[in-house]
Amino acid sequence: MASNCKYIFVTGGVTSSLGKGIISASLAKLLQARGFSVTIQKLDPYINIDPGTLNPYEHGECYVTDDGAETDLDLGHYERFLNVPTSQANNVTTGRIYQRVIDRERRGDYLGKTVQVIPHITDEIQDSIQTLGRSGDYDFIITEIGGTVGDIESLPYIEAVRQLKLELEGQALVIHLTLIPYLEAAGELKTKPTQHSVKMLQSLGVQPDVIVARTSHELGSDIKLKIAKFCNVHKNAVIQSIDASTIYEVPLLMKEEQLDEVVLKKFGYNDIESPDLSAWISFLNKIKYPKSKVTIGLIGKYVELKDSYKSILEGLIHAGATNECKVKIELIHSENINKRTLKELLSHLDGILVAPGFGERGIEGKIETVKFARENNIPFFGICLGMQCAVVEFARNTLKLSAANSAEIDPKTPDPVIYLMESQKKVKNKGGTMRLGAYTCKLKKGSLAHKIYQKDEIQERHRHRFEFNNNYLADYEKNGMIASGINPESGLVEIVEIPKHPWFLGVQFHPEYKSTVENPHPLFVSFIEAAVTHHNS
Ligand code: GLN
């Protein structure tokens, strides 16, 4: 019931990158495993309307939801942990908040009034938080406030939390995630940064109810007591979050620390039974005790920053677990790949995945990679731009259209085998204008794709402007590359494959967004299975 919906706010202190998203997702998992319905929301204090126009170096991967929202990568964690789809309502930025308020001002909704941060912006933030609660679908809404307490940008969010907590007395609480650094030279854990960050929060009128302390060393009860005293929380509400070997261990560590119990008791729930985490534990054991090992090359151009390919890396981990196989991932920069380096960089790989991306940089290396995988029968998985590279490679080397290209890379190519979608030709604005979100795809019976999905129709998420040029389709199919997935309404080619190759698949959509712990994506699972076969042969 909406009116009974409880709100949990997660703020961060001391530094960024402490893993608020993982803590939020872990708590949500524990509550879900007790039968509650939970969703998680991320409020991002930057001015961009969404992260869709951000370079992956700035903000990591852009995660896409079914309803076509371009969102923060933390939403990926939420879906992977909870196995429940998120939507635009789960990610709001300062830009979006201001845009709504300004639109309203222009409509005249505030006629006569001066529009101000307080109350108009803070009201809009509160409204965004309560939108999910009002849906009546959830027992708990966990709202993660991006950034670190003390940032100028976060102030309106903290103020909104302060007001909401007061208004929703007993129905809202605040978890503050901080860092307890270990000073090597002194051999000691230090609580001072946490004390300061909690003071900062208190000075803004917010008293945290629970402190989750990230640490590399066990906290011990003396340190917990100290944190409790200085930060004005109960000792049992100081939760240790020790570095874990995988993010998927964090829900179990949080359960050991009783984070969920502490939260539930604060909301007045007593007689709480244990959550059922058996499926989660069995997944974790498969990751921890694999029976085989494969090496997968992930070819991209943002390889310095693993967050750029977050969902793909997680999809590979999920698929590894299903296959009880350790997946070692080598991130290889496509700019380093050329005819001379090909063999050395790629020949030891058991599977090759060419990543999504935009623009020209590193593209020829990706095309060379596809050729190598195709000719050497190495399992090949191309996602979005990776699929487009496979189409270009096939045109150049099999169809003998030597100057074939994607119109994104060479607008003047005589053979634009990948070209701009009709609907994209008029588009001028960059933000939110790609082909985004879930579309239906019909699978060809007897194809590899059909065999993997075991379905006639699927729904997958998209994020692209360019597409396969159907004028060339007959030529491709005659020469051994088939379109095994087609959008039934538009006729757009969504999947290509080479039936003669042991495992060669290119997808225009992003399957990685839909891989979860409970539902590892079938394409990833099959790709890893093929890699195991390749490894053993
Ligand atoms: N740049 C390509 C396009 O816009 C591929 C996009 C992607 O890989 N997400 O079509």
pLDDT for 231:
95
Please tell me whether residue 517 adopts helix, strand or coil conformation: coil
Residue with tokens 């829900």: 251
Q: Cβ neighbours of residue 218 under 8 Å, at least 6 residues apart?
A: 240, 242
Calculate what percentage of the chain has a pLDDT beyond 90: 90
Catalytic machinery residues: 384, 510, 512
Token pair listed for 283: 């997944």
DSSP designation for 222: H
Averaged pLDDT, 82-92: 95
Q: Spell out where 357-406 has E strands.
A: 380-383, 405-406
Does the pLDDT at position 320 exceed 90? yes
pLDDT tens per residue across span 212-223: 999 999 999 999
Ligand 1 centroid–CA 464 distance in Å is 4
pLDDT for 17:
85
- Ligand 1 probe mutation, 361, 367, 466, 509, most atoms within 8 A of CB: 466
Q: Which atom of ligand 1 is nearest to the CA of 408?
A: 1
> How far apart (Å, rounded) are the C-alpha atoms in residues 72 and 513?
12
Got the DSSP string for 54-113? S-HHHHSPPEE-TT--EE-THHHHHHHHH-----GGGEEEHHHHHHHHHHHHHHTTTTTS
State the burial class of residue 136 (Cβ atoms within 10 Å of its Cβ: 0-12, 13-18, 19+): exposed
Instruction: For residue 518, give the nearest of 28, 197, 82 by alpha carbon.
Output: 82
94 CB neighbour count, 10 Å cutoff: 22
Nearest CA to ligand 1 atom 1: 358
- Ligand 1 probe mutation, 311, 463, 493, most atoms within 8 A of CB: 463
Does the pLDDT at position 2 exceed 50? no
Nearest CA to ligand 1 atom 5: 385
Q: Which atom of ligand 1 is nearest to the CA of 383?
A: 8
End-to-end CA distance of the chain: 56
Ligand 1 centroid–CA 240 distance in Å is 41
How far from the centroid of its chain's Cα atoms is residue 314's Cα? 9
Q: Cβ neighbours of residue 238 under 8 Å, at least 6 residues apart?
A: 210, 211, 213, 219, 224, 227, 228, 231
> How far apart (Å, rounded) are the C-alpha atoms in residues 209 and 262?
10
Ligand 1 pocket residues where CB is under 6 Å:
356-358, 384-385, 408, 463-466
Average pLDDT score over the chain: 95
pLDDT tens per residue across span 167-204: 998 999 999 999 999 999 999 999 999 999 999 999 99
SS3 content of the chain, % helix, strand, coil (to 5): 40, 20, 35
Nearest CA to ligand 1 atom 8: 356
Tell me, what amino acid is at 35?
G
pLDDT for 521:
98
Ligand 1 centroid–CA 357 distance in Å is 6
Q: Which atom of ligand 1 is nearest to the CA of 359?
A: 1
Nearest CA to ligand 1 atom 6: 464
Residue with tokens 């204008």: 433
Please tell me whether residue 47 adopts helix, strand or coil conformation: coil
The three-point CA angle 300-306-307 to 5° equals 110
CB 354 within 8 A of CB 383: yes
Q: Which atom of ligand 1 is nearest to the CA of 434?
A: 4
Ligand 1 centroid–CA 290 distance in Å is 34
pLDDT for 3:
59
pLDDT tens per residue across span 255-271: 999 999 999 999 999 87
Q: Which atom of ligand 1 is nearest to the CA of 356?
A: 8
Does the pLDDT at position 358 exceed 60? yes
Nearest CA to ligand 1 atom 3: 464
CB 136 within 8 A of CB 37: no
Half-sphere exposure of 252 (CA within 13 A, CB side): 16
Confidence of residue 85 (pLDDT cuts 50, 70, 90): very high
pLDDT tens per residue across span 374-427: 999 999 999 999 999 999 999 999 999 999 999 999 999 999 999 998 888 888
Does the pLDDT at position 1 exceed 70? no
Reported pTM: 0.95
Token pair listed for 476: 């491709």
CB 333 within 8 A of CB 362: yes
Q: Are strands 325-333 and 210-215 parallel, antiparallel or unpaired?
A: unpaired
Got the DSSP string for 407-472? TTT-TT-S-EEEEE-GGGTT----TT-SEEEEEEEEEPTTSHHHHHH-SSEEEEEEEESEEE-GGG
Q: Which of 53-62, 212-221, 512-521 has the lowest mean pLDDT?
A: 53-62
